[in-house]
Amino acid sequence: MDAVTLWGIVITVVGTVASIWGAIISRSQARAAKASASEASRVRDQLINQRGTSDLAGLKVHCERAIKCMEKYGPGSSASILSGVNPETDASDVRTLILEANQLQGSFHKGEVQIFVNKVGPLLDKLVSPKEIRNIQSNGKAVLLVVSDFLAVVKAALDVKRESTSTVV
């Protein structure tokens, strides 16, 4: 075996070892990239769930504000308590709730927002244009009950979203 053939074999062996080493490094980096992509996807999903949870928590606050505003029409109210009330002002908090709920329809799966809007809309119309004070009380009470029912739906959706957020972590 002459020197040229020996050097050719040495270069071939060194090249083969370098190729194998490069393949090992490449495979290791591919695994690391896959793990990083998986972690990025997990973090993205967690952020999306956190945002949904935050949005539902804000909707819950709107529900509670509307309920607080409508409590004066509740079961313990009387005509003397209702003298001087302004149903239009009270209805504005419920209208704000409707707008906020409509923006978050995607957080609900069974059309709960549309059901709420269909129930409360006509009641608000009756509340702001009553014939007598007794009608204000009964219409306000009906609005209060519908908003209270919707608050329960919002709380349930919020609990589901919180549970899904904690499982993503």
Number of domains making up the chain = 1
pLDDT (tens digit, 9 = 90+) per residue, 24-63?
999 999 999 999 999 999 888 888 888 888 888 999 999 9
DSSP state of 86: -
Task: Return all residues near 94 (Cβ < 8 A) that are at least 6 apart.
Answer: 66, 69, 70, 120, 124, 143, 147
> What CATH number should be reported for the domain holding residue 106?
1.20.120
18-32, 94-108, 122-136: the lowest-pLDDT one? 122-136
Instruction: Report d(CA 87, CA 85) in Å as an integer.
Output: 6
Position 72 pLDDT exceeds 90 = no
Sign of CA dihedral 32, 37, 42, 47: positive
Provide the residue range defining the domain that includes 151.
3-168
Q: Containing H/E element for 119?
A: helix 112-128
